[in-house]
Amino acid sequence: MPPLALLAHNGVNTRQGARQRNIEEGTPMKAYAKRWSKVAAVTAVGLIACVSMGAVGHESDDPHSHHEMKREMHTSTVDYRLPPVTLVRDDGQAVSLANELDDGRPVVLTFIYTTCTSICPVISQTLSQLQAELGPDRDKVHLVSISIDPEHDTPGRLREYAAKFGAGPEWQHYTGAVSASVAAQKAFNVYHEDKMNHSPVVLLRAAPGKPWLRIDGFATADEILHAYHHLMASN
C-alpha cells in the first residue's frame, strides 16, 4: 500500500479505535457535548457578570453619580449673619458681600460652580425661569449666585456661564478668594469640604434685616415665585 494511503488507512483505524474506546469506556460523544455546553454556559454568565461590573464601575467614574435628583424639599426660616468678606462680581468689580445683599432689594441667593454638571445647571435653569416669571418685579429682585469653586470660576467664566442661562442685569454672579467664598458658604450653612458633595439650596429674603427662607431640595420656578410672593405679602 502506498505511504499516503497507509497513513490514511491508519488514521481511519485510529479514529475508529478512539470511537470504540469511548463506547467501551462508557463516555459517549453526547456526554462530552453536554459537558462542554455547560462549560460554555458558565463562561458566558461569567463574561456577562464581568461586563456588568465593568459598566457599574464606569458609571461610578462620574463624580456626580452619587447625586439623586429628588424632588423632596424642606423649608425653614433662618437668621443668618453676613460675613465681612469681599467678593468679585462677574463684571470684575470687588464688592462687599454685605453691601450687595443689603442694597434694599429682595434677594434670591444660590451657590453654584460653572463646571458642575448636575445640580448647578438645574438651579441656574430654575432661576432663569424665575427671572422670566417675575414679570414687573423682575427689576426689583436681586438674583445672586456665588461660586463655590472660585479658583476656577473667574469673572470671565462666570459671565459666560450667566449668558448660557440668559441672566439679566438683576442676576449677578460672584467669585473671589477661596477664603471669602468659604466664609460665605459657612455663613449660610451650605459649605462642604468637597464641592462634589454640595446640595441644592435656594435662599430668599424680603428685605435687609428680615429672616431668610431656606429651601433645601429642587424647587421649581413656580414654587420659588410663590415663596417670594408670600414673603413680600408678609413683609
For CATH 3.40.30.10, list the domain ranges present in the chain: 74-234
Domain 74-234 indexed as CATH 3.40.30.10 = yes
pTM of the model: 0.72
**Predicted local confidence at residue 113, as pLDDT:** 97
Q: Please, are residues 191 and 179 in contact by the beta-carbon 8 Å criterion?
A: no
* DSSP-assigned letters across all residues of the chain: --HHHHHHHHHHHHHHHHHHHHHHTT--HHHHHHHHHHHHHHHHHHHHHHHHHHHHHHHTTSTTTT-------EEEEE--PPP--EEEETTS-EEEHHHHHTSSS-EEEEEE-TT-SSHHHHHHHHHHHHHHHTGGGGGGSEEEEEES-TTT--HHHHHHHHHHTT--TTEEEEE--HHHHHHHHHHTT---SSGGG---EEEEESSTTSPEEEEES---HHHHHHHHHHHHHH-
Q: Please, are residues 213 and 75 in contact by the beta-carbon 8 Å criterion?
A: yes
**Predicted local confidence at residue 71, as pLDDT:** 60
Task: Determine the residue type at 227.
Answer: A
Residue 148: strand pairing partners: none
**Predicted local confidence at residue 70, as pLDDT:** 53
What is d(CA 135, CA 71) in angstroms, rounded to the nearest whole number? Answer: 25
What is d(CA 220, CA 210) in angstroms, rounded to the nearest whole number? Answer: 23
What is d(CA 202, CA 35) in angstroms, rounded to the nearest whole number? Answer: 63
CA distances in angstroms from 231 to 11, 24, 71, 131, listed in the order given: 97, 94, 22, 17
**Predicted local confidence at residue 235, as pLDDT:** 81
pLDDT tens-place values along the chain, 235 residues long: 444 343 344 444 444 444 444 434 444 444 434 444 443 443 333 333 333 333 333 334 544 444 445 568 899 999 999 999 999 999 999 999 999 999 999 999 999 999 999 999 999 999 999 999 999 999 999 999 999 999 999 999 999 999 999 999 999 999 999 999 999 999 999 999 999 889 999 999 999 999 999 999 999 999 999 999 999 999 8
